[in-house]
Amino acid sequence: DARVTQTPRDKVTEMGQEVTMRCQPILGHNTVFWYRQTMMQGLELLAYFRNRAPLDDSGMPKDRFSAEMPDATLATLKIQPSEPRDSAVYFCASGFAGTAYTTGELFFGEGSRLTVL
Amino acid sequence: GIQVEQSPPDLILQEGANSTLRCNFSDSVNNLQWFHQNPWGQLINLFYIPSGTKQNGRLSATTVATERYSLLYISSSQTTDSGVYFCAVVPSNTGNQFYFGTGTSLTVIP
C-alpha cells in the first residue's frame, strides 16, 4: 500500500531545542502539505510545496519554523527554538496536481505528535 | 477566502442508527473530500467526490457542486464510526490548497 510516511511518530523535547520532522510523500505525488492540529481541533495549514517549490508558507511562524523539500522523496519541517505552544500533532499530506489549478486526492500521514516541555 | 461549514457540530447516535452529515461551501470548487479522523488521530480518506454520488459499504456521499453542498450518509452506524468527520474543498479559482471545515464529532454508543 502506498502511504505517506512521517517520522518521528512521537517526540518529547525541552523548550529551546531544535525539532525536525520528516515526511516521505507517496511516490509520484508532486504536492506536499504540512498541517498542525491541536487537541482534535481543525487543521491549520502551515506550508505547502508543488514540484518541490514552496507555494505558500504564510501559515508558518517565520521566526522559528522552516519547511523544505531537499528532494522529491523528502519534506522537512523544522522548529528552532521550540516552545511549549508548539505542542501539537503535525501532519504531512501529499497529492498529485496535474495542472496549476487542480489538486488531486489528498492522503495524510499518521502524524508526528510533538510535546515541548 | 472560501468558507466551509459543517453541520451538525456534534452528533450522538445509538448503534444501528443512520445519520447525515452536511458540508456547505461558499464558492465553486474543483475538489472535495471527506475524511474520518478516528479516536487515535488518524485521518482516513472516505471519499474523493467533487461531484456526483459514491458509495462504499455503509457509507455514501453526494456532492451537488452547483448548489455548493455535500452530504455524507452513514447507515447502520457502528462504534468504530466514532470520531470526527472533516470535509475539505479546493476552490476552483485557486486550485492550490485544501480548506477544511471544522468537523462533525460523532459518537456512536452501543
Best of B98, B102, B106 to substitute, by most chain A Cβ atoms within 10 angstroms, is: B98
Test B95 with A101 for CB contact under 8 angstroms: yes
Strand B52-56, strand B29-37: pairing: unpaired
Residue A72: Cβ within 10 Å count? 16
Burial of residue B89 (CB within 10 Å: 0-12, 13-18, 19+) is buried
HSE-CB of A110 using CA atoms within 13 angstroms: 9
- Mean pLDDT over residues A52-69, rounded? 91
pLDDT score for A33: 95
Burial of residue B59 (CB within 10 Å: 0-12, 13-18, 19+) is middle
Residue B90, Ramachandran bin (φ over 0: left; ψ between -120 and 50: alpha; else beta): beta
* Per-residue pLDDT band at A41 (split at 50, 70, 90): low
pLDDT score for B95: 67
The ranges assigned to domains in chain A are: 9-32+40-93
**CB of B7 within 8 A of CB of B69?**
no
Q: Is the pLDDT of residue A40 over 60?
A: no
Test B94 with A111 for CB contact under 8 angstroms: no
| Closest among B110, B90, B103 to B22, alpha carbons compared | B103
Distance CA A109, CA B42 (A): 8
- Mean pLDDT over residues A6-32, rounded? 97
Structure-model confidence comparison of residues B96 and B60, the more confident one: B60
| Closest among A57, A39, A50, A117 to A83, alpha carbons compared | A117
Domains of chain B: 4-104 (2.60.40.10)
pLDDT score for B1: 84
Considering only the beta carbons, identify the residue of B42, B95, B102 that sits closest to A100: B95
Test B100 with A42 for CB contact under 8 angstroms: yes
pLDDT score for B94: 75
Q: Domain A9-32+40-93 classified CATH 1.20.120.160?
A: no
